[in-house]
Amino acid sequence: MGTIDAEELILFTNNEYTLYKDVYLPIIAALLKKKEGGTYDSTKAIKAFHPLVVAGARAYIAKFPGTRIPAAAKRDAEQEYRDIFEAEYNIKTSVGGD
């Protein structure tokens, strides 16, 4: 029985196509609408990634039984996803991309 950290959880989740397509992309679309509409809240954006992290953790545990994912790792993963979203959004807007 082992434990994993946020980075490993993110890497695993990013490589699960169904999670990417069914959970991640809709979250990004919703956050983009909020950014463009001027109602984006960075703190609430962390909560937006909660369903993705929970689904990723469940998939990880199903694939690797006996693994423990601490609550702190899940929180860190949610914050990291938010940070990645904001960084990519800022890059997109600074270079004038659509």
pLDDT in tens, 41-96: 999 999 999 999 999 999 999 999 999 999 999 999 999 999 999 999 998 887 76
Backbone angles phi, psi at 4, to 5 degrees: -120, 165
Considering just the CA atoms, what is the radius of gyration of the chain in Å?
14
Mean pLDDT over residues 30-51, rounded? 97
Q: How far apart are the first and last CA of the chain?
A: 45
Would you place residue 4 in the very low, low, confident or very high pLDDT band (cuts 50, 70, 90)? confident
Confidence (pLDDT) at 1:
40
Confidence (pLDDT) at 97:
57
Confidence (pLDDT) at 3:
67
Gap between the Cα atoms of 4 and 70, Å rounded:
8
